[in-house]
Amino acid sequence: MSRFTHEVHMRWSDMDAYRHINNSAYLAYLEQARVAMFFYRHENFSSGTVIARHEIDYLLPVVYDPQPLQVQMWIDGVRGARFTVHYEVFDHGRLVARAATQCVTFDFTVDRPRRLSAEEVEVLRGFADDAA
């Protein structure tokens, strides 16, 4: 499968005093896109994922626009209880940010990480970037 793409809309309130989208808004954009990706193929994915780490490289400033940002995502680094979601964020076709989120599968009943099932690994591998 190629990259998963999702559009996210900016809010006027996402702008800061410097008249560009504030860096903190990107976490919400990434979350919206990540949730959309997981709901796209959730049939074999158990509940219980927490975020262990975010990394964001801001490449160009973004000014509010009613046109949505395009977020392209793919997954790699699938291990026993973790995986990494990678993102490239585009504004009007320009690459404006790169990011990565390390996710850990979690069992909330015992309050600790849990291993990915074979079905979950298969779902995640379906989001691998063929070009990477």
Domain of residue 47, CATH code: 3.10.129.10
Give all strands (DSSP E) within the chain, no chain letters: 4-8, 49-58, 69-76, 82-91, 94-107, 112-113
Q: CA nearest 96: which of 10, 12, 37?
A: 10
Full domain range(s) for residue 38: 4-125
pLDDT tens column, 5-42: 999 999 999 999 999 999 999 999 999 999 999 887 66
Domain count, the chain: 1
Residue type, 119: E
Residue 52 lies in a domain: yes
> Stretch 126-130: mean pLDDT, rounded?
86
Residue 61 lies in a domain: yes
Residue 130's pLDDT is 73
Exposed, middle or buried, 118 (CB in 10 Å: 0-12/13-18/19+)?
A: exposed
pLDDT tens column, 59-97: 999 999 999 999 999 999 999 999 999 999 999 999 999
Sign of CA dihedral 92, 95, 98, 103: positive
pLDDT tens column, 42-63: 665 666 889 999 999 999 999 9
Residue 131 lies in a domain: no
